[in-house]
A = this chain, B = another copy of it.
Amino acid sequence: MPASKRDQLLATAERLFYDQGFHATGIDRIVTAAGVVRMTLYNHFASKEALVMAVLKARHERFMASLDTAAAAASPGQATLALVEAHGHWLEQYSQHGCIMAQAMGEYAEHSAEIHALATAAKTDLLARLETAVARDGLDHHTRLARRLFLMLEGSNTAVAVLGAEVALADTRAAADALLSAAWSETP
C-alpha cells in the first residue's frame, strides 16, 4: 500500500528541512515536492510549527529505537560501545551534514519554545541512554563518563560534516575507546 498523504508530507518535510533549513523551506515547496495540495497539509497539521514538531518527534523516535535495539543486542559489557556504533551508523545513513536537532535549537531558540524544548529533550535523551549503558556495563563514575561520551558523539555530528563520515567515525570510535580505557585507570 502507498504511504498516506500524511506520511508523504512528513518524509518530504524532513528531507527539505534537513537539507535546506527550517525557515528557508516554505510550505509551497513542501507540498509541491510531496505531490500534495496545500490544504492537505493544513488538514493534517495545524501550522508549520506543528509540522516541524511532528517531523522532529518522528525522527527522534526512530533514532531512539535504533539505539535501544543496538543496546539490547549488545554482549554483556559492550552496551556502551554498541551505542557509539549505532550513533555512527545513524550519522552515516541519515545525518551527513550536521544534526537536525542542533539546527532546530538554533533556528527556533527565540521563535518557538516548544520546538526548542523538544530538540533539547532529544539531546538529554541520548545522554540518558549513555548513562544507562555505562551503568549496565559496570563502569564506575558512570554519570561523568556518560557525559564525556556525550561530548564525543555530539562532536562527531559536526566532524562528519567537516571531515566526512569515514574519517570522523573512525576518530569517534577510537576516542570512545580511549575514554573507556582511561575510565578504568583514572583515580576517582
Q: List A residues at the B interface (Cβ < 8 Å).
A: 19-21, 23-24, 97-99, 102-103, 105-111, 120, 123-124, 127, 144, 147-148, 150-159, 161-163, 167-168, 171-172, 174-175, 178-179, 181-183, 186
Contacts and interface: CB of A to CB of B under 8 A. Distances in A.
B150 A152 contact: no
Q: Which of A99, A102, A158, A174 has the most CB of B within 10 A?
A: A158
A171 B159 contact: no
A137 B184 CA distance: 26
Q: Which of A99, A120, A124, A175 has the most CB of B within 10 A?
A: A175
A106 B105 contact: no
A106 B111 contact: no
A124 B162 contact: yes
Contact of A162 (B24, B120, B163, B186): B120
B148 A171 contact: yes
Contacts of A127: 162-163
Given A21-B23, A21-B107, A151-B172, 16 more contacts: A20-B110, A21-B106, A99-B158, A102-B106, A107-B107, A120-B161, A124-B162, A144-B171, A147-B171, A148-B171, A151-B159, A154-B158, A155-B155, A178-B179, A178-B186, A181-B182
Contacts of A124: 162
A167 B131 CA distance: 16
A105 B158 CA distance: 10
